[in-house]
Amino acid sequence: MAVPLLDLQPQLAPLREEILAAVTEVIDSCGYIMGPKVESLERAVADYCGVEHAIGVASGTDALLVALMALDIGPGDLVLTTPYSFFATMGSILRLGARPLFVDIDPVTFNIDPLAARELLESRPELAARVKAIIPVHLYGQCAEMAPLLELAQRFGLAVVEDAAQAIGALYPPARAADKAGWRRAGSMGDAGCFSFFPSKNLGGIGDGGMVICRDAALAEKIRILRVHGSAPKYHHGLVGGNFRLDPIQAVVLEIKLGHLPAWHAARRNNAEGYRRLFADSGLLEDGSVLLPAAVYREQAQAAGIDDYHIYNQFVPRFARRDQLLAHLRRVEIGCEVYYPVPLHKQGCVAELGYHEQVFPEAERAAGETLALPIYPELTEEMQREVVAAISSFYRGERRGG
């Protein structure tokens, strides 16, 4: 049985009539730019995340870009971030004429290593003086270690822009994890949090979309103005912005889907637990062929009665001989993908900037060892068995083959 990495059809089917009706209403209204449907989604996402302000934008990439613009990041500035993320994290920095300052990742979570960040800032005062912001990425749906990062940001006067494109809804524990009300949603902890509604994200539209959330009213206002070419009032441009608007067709679809998000997150977590059982039974964990991704906040969360400690936008184990396994899975039609084969500091567009000489061993090792498996909410237990059986047969065949 072929198993796709992601299948949006079973999610669409039960919502299709409701979505068609909502989209039809927008079409018939002839109001195609911004308006009450976008405002309604902004209110709903702000409430869900526990913040005051949300600004709908055209993509997750634009969310990062406009947040950095609003924080006045520009030429000469450095932005501390991870070399192991989707390109937009770095691209938004470079497009503003600023430069990324990379710190390696924690090999357990794949997120930026806060200790390495601290060591870098403390040992290189000439660099620290130029760092204006930090972009932690909550990779694969699990929050980066925010407490030490926020402390660093405070100490060095850095703005914090959370790249929560893969993590809408994920919760981060407070100092006293048992304090249930103290858990905070991804994106709500820094100065600004950025979401993507790309169709493959946990909350995905029927095209591109994104959102910035923040707690500060003045920053929210500035982002709203930058979203429409820096225009306030209309045709008076005190700032240079862009066209970063979200359209109401995406907004109505996303608001319908937002109501289902907690159940979809739960289904993804259930699938992750399914993989943990199946791989444990397979024997592949003991012999080191497979290393499953850690849910580092799970125990604290379960003790506190918290669900969304991880939202599993991706389920990404490490595998021995990853590339051979990948070829095998392609042959037997098991969907999988390498996120990300080339770390950001090795990308061609930064060759001239001296990044290729830098070394981030954990990011490079992750790029060479990881493979994302299907984890979408509607994935069945039978399909999961198929995935694990295909992986088992690869390693068994390899042993037989010598």
85 interacts with ligand PLP by CB under 6 A: yes
Among positions 308-337, residues that touch ligand PLP (CB under 6 A) are none
163 interacts with ligand PLP by CB under 6 A: yes
Among positions 40-59, residues that touch ligand PLP (CB under 6 A) are 59
244 interacts with ligand PLP by CB under 6 A: no
* CA neighbours closer than 13 Å in the CB half-sphere of residue 35: 14
Do strands 99-102 and 78-81 pair parallel, antiparallel, or not at all (unpaired)? parallel
Whichever of 264 and 394 has its CB closer to ligand PLP, that residue is 264
169 interacts with ligand PLP by CB under 6 A: no
Whichever of 92 and 282 has its CB closer to ligand PLP, that residue is 92
Helix (H) or strand (E) holding 309: none
Whichever of 87 and 321 has its CB closer to ligand PLP, that residue is 87
Q: In what order do the strands lie in the sheet with 131-135?
A: 53-57, 210-214, 192-196, 159-163, 131-135, 78-81, 99-102
166 interacts with ligand PLP by CB under 6 A: yes
- Cβ pair 191, 64 in contact under 8 A: no
Nearest distance from C-beta of residue 120 to ligand PLP, angstroms: 21
- Cβ pair 185, 64 in contact under 8 A: no
Sign of CA dihedral 176, 177, 183, 189: positive
Contacts with ligand PLP by CB under 6 A: the residue count is 15
Report CA-CA distances (Å) from 34 to 40, 57, 246, 248, 320.
10, 10, 7, 6, 49
Sign of CA dihedral 384, 388, 394, 400: negative
Q: Two tokens at 370? A: 């990881």
Whichever of 68 and 390 has its CB closer to ligand PLP, that residue is 68
Do strands 318-319 and 290-291 pair parallel, antiparallel, or not at all (unpaired)? antiparallel
98 interacts with ligand PLP by CB under 6 A: no
213 interacts with ligand PLP by CB under 6 A: no
61 interacts with ligand PLP by CB under 6 A: yes
Cβ-closest position to ligand PLP: 60
340 interacts with ligand PLP by CB under 6 A: no
Q: Please provide the DSSP assignment of 72-136 as one string.
A: T--TT-EEEE-SSS-HHHHHHHHHTT-EEEE-PBPTTT-SB-HHHHHHHHHH-HHHHTTEEEEE-
Nearest distance from C-beta of residue 396 to ligand PLP, angstroms: 34
Taking contact as CB under 6 A, which single stretch among the options 82-90, 262-270, 343-351, 370-378 is the one that binds ligand PLP?
Answer: 82-90
Candidate residues 86, 102, 156, 244; the one interacting with ligand PLP per rule CB under 6 A: 86
Nearest distance from C-beta of residue 340 to ligand PLP, angstroms: 9
110 interacts with ligand PLP by CB under 6 A: no
Round the CA-based radius of gyration of the chain to a whole number and report it. 21
- How far, in Å, CA of 304 to CA of 295, rounded? 15
60 interacts with ligand PLP by CB under 6 A: yes
Whichever of 128 and 363 has its CB closer to ligand PLP, that residue is 363
Nearest distance from C-beta of residue 314 to ligand PLP, angstroms: 9
198 interacts with ligand PLP by CB under 6 A: yes
Nearest distance from C-beta of residue 162 to ligand PLP, angstroms: 10
Q: Strand locations in 149-214, DSSP E?
A: 159-163, 171-172, 184-185, 192-196, 210-214
Candidate residues 81, 89, 111, 384; the one interacting with ligand PLP per rule CB under 6 A: 89
Do strands 210-214 and 290-291 pair parallel, antiparallel, or not at all (unpaired)? unpaired
Taking contact as CB under 6 A, which single stretch among the options 23-31, 83-91, 149-157, 298-306 is the one that binds ligand PLP?
Answer: 83-91
Q: Hey, is 301 helix, strand or coil? A: helix
- Cβ pair 166, 136 in contact under 8 A: no
Do strands 131-135 and 159-163 pair parallel, antiparallel, or not at all (unpaired)? parallel
Whichever of 86 and 394 has its CB closer to ligand PLP, that residue is 86
Candidate residues 196, 250, 271, 289; the one interacting with ligand PLP per rule CB under 6 A: 196
Q: How far from chain centre, in Å, is Cα 107?
A: 17
Nearest distance from C-beta of residue 208 to ligand PLP, angstroms: 6
366 interacts with ligand PLP by CB under 6 A: no
Which residues of this protein are in contact with ligand PLP, per CB under 6 A?
59-61, 85-86, 88-89, 137, 163, 165-166, 196, 198, 208, 210
